[in-house]
Amino acid sequence: MKISKYYLAALMVGSLALGACSEDAIDIAPVENNTTAQFYSSELEIKQAVMGTYARLGRNGTNTDFPTEYFWLASENRADVLYLATQGTTAQNDQLDLRKYLTTDQTGMVQTIFARLYMVIKEANNLLANTKKDEYLRYRAEAKFLRAYAYSELARSFGPVAIVKTPILQNEALLLPRAPLSEIYDFIISDLEYAAANLAKIYTGAEAGRVGSLAANALLGQVYMTMGGYPLNDNSAYAKAETVFASIIGDVATRFAPNYGDIFTLANENKYDLFSVQFASGNLGLGSSLPGYITNSSSSGTPYPEWAYSSYNLQGQDIRVDKTLMDDMKARNDLRLAASVDFGYWNSLDVSKRTWVERTIVTKFLEKDKTNSTIKAWNDYPRNFPILRVADVYLLYAEALVRNGKAADAKSYVDNIRLRAGIGELAADPTLEDILYERKCEFIGEGRRFFDLVRMGETYAIDALTAFSTQYHSGFNGNIPSKRDLLLPIPLAEMKTRNNWDNNFGY
């Protein structure tokens, strides 16, 4: 069972005094204390500390997990894939604010995301500070990977932030400036290079789900691609990305799923991905909350009687998938569509009374099994959430090759993705638009699209988001997206604690 992997150990860490952020204020600094220092006295404790760092991306003692908050609500929800179907939905205001570009520095979800990422950094710093450089290399490498990952998401969502490399006191942290993006990325690159040099390629068996060097290099390549785009626009980064991806492409290919739908089944979890947030059912606080946000329903009753157990209910707005995208994928007989999206459901098990409810909803993370007795709640679903998978490497590598004038070399990687989708090879060498479109179809619901648009440039992103918002949300009292919406604001709780930071543009 999945619980035998690393989250069971993470539960043990939860009872230890490793430090946590207050609900009222976000403490980005890992404050030293005797309890923390005494904890790292054996390999078992150090391993538990690593697991606790991974666990910060899961439920982490809350109702929702990081993929739900970040990749779904704050990323996919703001891109040109999902739209708000009805204005009068009743779920949380944060979701509406993010979708309608009404986000402020007081939006609770933004504060939660910022805090979660610094929690990861805090735990990683504690482990690194309390282990010797020449011991426990694997655990240190995992900690550095997770720290680098957290900073990579902070950088692309919040822009310049404070770099905290070691446990420091809170009053010291308050004096830290917002470091330039170039400095943050240098730090990320250093951590990922260390991780790649000190991890096995992939871990399997009881250790499946823990990061290996393939994940570290895949993230490094993604970081370089991000650096190459807006706002840093470092053109030299594309050559570096190409080199990194080329070094792992053969090994990554061995984890390429032959069928797209196989990626999103419980039987194949940790088989075809490179880095995923791990989830498990059983009412242990380890389940995924994402299926609860795929569309809205009344507060009682089961919206999907044939799929979900009887007490399931939804937390989300009436979010649906772009009609134009769906029509195009249908016309091409794209196999990714059926594996990612459903077009409706029966609202009753009683054949004589039920009616068909039309919805275009992302269901790739919903375990459709009403008899599954291990699922106990709306946020207790078992599907892992992939942060890095083989298609990321294939398509980002192809993009790097195109940008470096090697489109002919890129074609086979794009074609591999297309052939698996059942839509045939490209008739010519791929363009950037070809690759972006394949990424849009490949990663429906996975939170990639918003960041792809931003990488393409300020004008490109704003034009795409504006056209989409105007088409679907013009009457919903939202804002037309602008430059301010390309970054999230630094949360007010953070800004109030220091006088040496200015917030992001427009906030």
Where do the domains of the chain lie? 290-383
CA 308 – CA 131 distance, rounded (Å): 45
**Type and span of the H or E element at 277:** strand 273-277
Confidence (pLDDT) at 27: 40
**β-strand partners of 452:** none
Instruction: Give Cα 54 distance to the centre of its chain.
Output: 13
Mean pLDDT of 234-255: 98
Confidence (pLDDT) at 307: 93
Higher model confidence: residue 476 or residue 26? 476
Mean pLDDT over all residues of the chain?
A: 91
Peptide bond into 231 cis (omega under 30): yes
Length of the chain: 507
Confidence (pLDDT) at 298: 54
Candidate from 75-89, 220-234, 403-417 with smallest mean pLDDT: 75-89
Phi-psi category of residue 155: left, alpha or beta, with phi > 0 → left and psi -120 to 50 → alpha: alpha
Mean pLDDT of 357-377: 93
**Angle between the N-to-C axes of helices 7-14 and 43-55, in degrees from 0 to 180, rounded to the nearest 10:** 100
CA distance readout (Å), 312 to 18, 100, 172, 378: 34, 27, 46, 5
Residue 18 above 90 pLDDT?
no
Confidence (pLDDT) at 21: 38
Confidence (pLDDT) at 301: 65
pLDDT bucket at 45, cuts 50 / 70 / 90: very high
pLDDT tens column, 111-120: 999 999 999 9
Q: Which amino acid makes up residue 27?
A: D
Q: 85: which 2 tokens?
A: 């179907």
Q: 458: which 2 tokens?
A: 């300020």
Give me the torsion for CA of 83, 461, 215, 20, rounded to 10°: -70
CA 177 – CA 497 distance, rounded (Å): 12
Residue 83 above 70 pLDDT?
yes
CA 216 – CA 207 distance, rounded (Å): 16
